Amino acid sequence: MMDDISKTDPEIFDAIKKEGIRIRNGVELIPSENFVSKAVLQAYATFFTNKYSEGYPGKRYYGGNQFADVVENLAIERAKKLFGAEHVNVQPYSGSPANQAVFFALLNLGDTFMGFDLSAGGHLTHGSPVNFSGKHYKCVPYNVDKETELLDYEQIMKLAMQTKPKMMLSGLTAYPRKIDFKAFKEICDEVGAYHFADIAHIAGLCATGIHQNPVPYCDVVTTTTHKTLRGPRGAIIMCKEKYAQSIDKAVFPGLQGGPHDHVNAAKAVAFKEALQPEYKKYCGQIIKNAKALADSLMDNGLELVTGGTDNHLMVIKLINKGLTGKGKEIQNALGEAEIYVNKNTIPYEPNTPFNPSGIRLGTPAVTTRGFKESEMEFIGECIARVIDNYADKNIIEKVKQDILELGKEFPLYPGMEVLR
């Protein structure tokens, strides 16, 4: 039972080693991914993975939870301090269940809400018809302006006045500009709606004041704890104190059983890291890197949704290159060159989500690795070379060699295969 994984399960050990090689060799530009610290990894791989802790600190259904309570309370207090929240639930397993808990707490089945259209930059849980949010509730989607590709708050206000939603959902997964949460609150106040913000992508930027913090303007805020927050895979829900009981009941026993205590430990570590001065510098560099990458892409002939970025991500529009619906092929070609991105829809997408006309990319992971503006300029040039020659294996191989050389300058998890 105490033998090393390399002996007990060589197949899994081999996959772990190869994933380590992949992330060290390549350039990780998927904006929802990041590299956690060794301390977060250590907290995650602990004895807490064995514990069952149904309930909340001080009110558990199992014995032996005195140290699980310490961990969860630390995570809660650190998250409160980080975001200035009145109440925090740290138990959600991931972002989608956290969002579902909010729906359960604030709405009845069939109620009307407004959410950001998926193709324009929203999320599945913001009202997609294939998701619980679109199946069990009536979603009125709001979109970006067709010409500017920006959110038009006056038009959103008009739509809200017409439809009278019970809840307004603000947030993004592929919108490259800042969101005005105060403007959303004014809309909600006008129509008597709850304001629920999903800041999964921009939580780190919000916590450090680089992006407007939605907490003062919202009834409820959710975020994942990875992405810019640079913690483990998981989520939290923040809310006004008056909604605390409803939110907690929606999470447990409404949706989940016991929390993942080892994940809560890793969340607590990540929140402590995010409270340090160095973390704000890191988030500032994310923005600098994103702007440098966006400028490089555009200088090399690529078109971006909204013409740039204000946050950590950007979306390349492939249409002007004659590559409508070629997002998957471009994603794969870039992957062959060790540049990892994801295919993505663009506003008013002319093709299907499976074969979209956009490429989404971001800078949290490469910034963690130590890349600065000069590296982003070079990477932008590499991306443009691949897109312009995505069927040319020789050029892709040349770009790959350039990327491999770049990776050697920025070691990642040195000396680590697995935690020992």
Closest CA to 133 of 143, 123, 142: 123
Active-site option among 233, 249, 280, 398: 233
- The burial class, CB within 10 Å (0-12 / 13-18 / 19+), for 354 is exposed
135 in catalytic set:
no
How far apart are the C-alpha atoms of 264 and 236, rounded to whole Å?
A: 10
Q: Respond yes or no: is residue 241 known to be catalytic.
A: no
Residues 42-49: contacts with CB under 8 Å, at least 24 apart? 42/419, 43/232, 43/262, 43/265, 43/266, 43/268, 43/269, 44/232, 44/262, 44/263, 44/265, 44/266, 45/262, 45/419, 46/262, 46/265, 48/261, 48/262, 48/264, 48/265, 49/260, 49/261, 49/262
Q: Is 221 helix (H, G, I), strand (E, B) or coil?
A: strand
Q: Is 81 a catalytic residue?
A: no
Q: Does 54 qualify as catalytic in the annotation?
A: yes
Q: Which of 52, 93, 153, 413 is catalytic?
A: 52
The residue type found at 140 is V
Do the Cβ atoms of 295 and 303 come closer than 8 Å? no
Out of 24, 33, 46, 54, pick the active-site residue: 54
Catalytically annotated residue among 224, 228, 345, 367: 224
Catalytic residue among 28, 117, 149, 198: 198
| Catalytic residue check, 375 | no
Active-site residue identified among 227, 369, 385, 400: 227
Annotated catalytic, 228? Answer: no
Catalytic residues: 52, 54, 198, 224, 227, 233
